[in-house]
Amino acid sequence: MNIAIISFTKSGAVICRRLKAGLNGLGHICDAYGKAPFAEAEGLEPFSERLDRWTKAAFGTMDAILFVGACGIAVRAIAPYIKNKTVDPAVIVIDEKGHFVISLLSGHLGGANELTRSIAQVIGAVPVITTATDLNGCFAVDEWAKKNNLRIGSMALAKDISAALLRGETIGVVSDFPIEGTPPGGLVLLSRSAEPVHSDTPPSQTEIPRLGFRISLWEREGPFEKTLHLIPAAVTVGIGCRKGASAETAEKFFNEVCKECGLSKSSIERLCSIDIKKEEYAINQLARRLEVPLEFYTAEELSRVPGEFTASEFVTSITGVDNVCERAAVRGSHGELIIRKQSKSGVTIAAAVRKVGYGWLQE
């Protein structure tokens, strides 16, 4: 994580230095600040600007912000910039003596709870975590999704699942991908047909939970009355286009392919193509719209990709390889094709998924 740490007193500067050293040792990247003259003595960046300006900048660029000082200082500083739990950074408060570490904002999706536990170990402090699922030892679907790079289809349903678990209700789970280990209390793993995977009770006598979540690349209904969709970010889209194809044409066709095949656009983790298309505006613009990285390969690299692909003599004559989109999708994902070559208006699209699997958190 990229972390900004700020302190305001001499004692706070000492804690700030210890935090920076300890968190850097855990693989985080920390920028640490302190008020003059305490900053120089502890090797921190001197802090002289207004706190609200510093906080605004940190909110837009950092994964986590640590305030070494009073909770009130942190609350007043962050209040104007809080948006929602899907985008806000983790915010943590540590008292200037290093006795307590308080997870203040974005405990699950922002990772504040987990970071709070790490900080407590680094400086020997008491972690203070107030989220209900943590206090009651319940499974937190939003935190688990974040750890496993699963995109959450509905934060409202994620909240419903947490509330149901806190009430002692059973939550169903259906997954297109393997999940190792024993499900945490309150969860029951079902097959894709919504039958128990491991149970001594006959399926006909097992009541399907009203609420549950499904792990899938595909947009499907159910199987529960209220189903939260968790989408693996594991799909690579291979794309090719004729020279000068418009961005609107490429995006419209991409949307059509996803809709017709039922593929969730949230599953896309990258776009790939051949290097001679590096300057094609349509391809670059689609990657920007999807907010995913764009990778290119040479014809030689694509020709070495193993597998059976939809060959085209015309494509070979233009690019030097018999297929661009399918080969690029497999090359980028190191996985298998799930959508073979689709063509329209000079644009070709294919998709492949890398191998993924999950495990239940064991506390």
Residues 6 and 125 in one domain: yes
Which one of 200, 232, 264 terminates a domain? 232
Residues 243 and 342 in one domain: yes
Instruction: Report how far residue 103's alpha carbon sits from residue 89's, in angstroms, rounded to the nearest whole number.
Output: 12
Residues 120 and 24 in one domain: yes
68 and 15 Cβ atoms separated by less than 8 Å: yes
Q: What is the pTM of this model?
A: 0.79
Q: Which domain holds residue 197?
A: 141-232
Which one of 232, 267, 294 terminates a domain? 232
Which one of 191, 215, 232 terminates a domain? 232
- Each residue's pLDDT tens digit in the chain (363 positions)? 999 999 999 999 999 999 999 999 999 999 999 988 888 888 898 988 889 999 999 998 999 999 999 999 999 999 999 998 888 999 999 999 999 999 999 888 888 999 999 999 999 999 999 888 778 888 999 989 988 999 999 999 999 999 999 999 999 999 999 999 999 999 999 976 555 444 444 444 457 889 999 999 999 888 899 999 999 999 999 999 999 999 999 999 999 999 999 999 999 999 999 999 999 999 999 999 999 999 999 999 999 999 999 988 988 888 889 999 999 999 999 999 999 999 999 999 999 999 999 998 644
Instruction: Report how far residue 43's alpha carbon sits from residue 294's, in angstroms, rounded to the nearest whole number.
Output: 40
CATH number of the domain bearing residue 167: 3.40.1390.40
Q: What is the DSSP string of 143-201?
A: HHHHHTTEEES-HHHHHHHHHHHHTT--EEEEESS-EESPPPTTEEEE-TTS-BSS-SS
223 and 174 Cβ atoms separated by less than 8 Å: yes
Residues 311 and 290 in one domain: yes
62 and 113 Cβ atoms separated by less than 8 Å: no
Residues 6 and 117 in one domain: yes
* Structure token digits, residue 360: 């239940």
Phi/psi of residue 213, nearest 5 degrees: -130, 150
Residues 115 and 21 in one domain: yes
Total tally of structural domains belonging to the chain: 3
Residues whose CB falls within 8 Å of the CB of residue 308, separated by 6 or more in sequence, listed in order: none
Residues 111 and 156 in one domain: no
203 and 195 Cβ atoms separated by less than 8 Å: yes
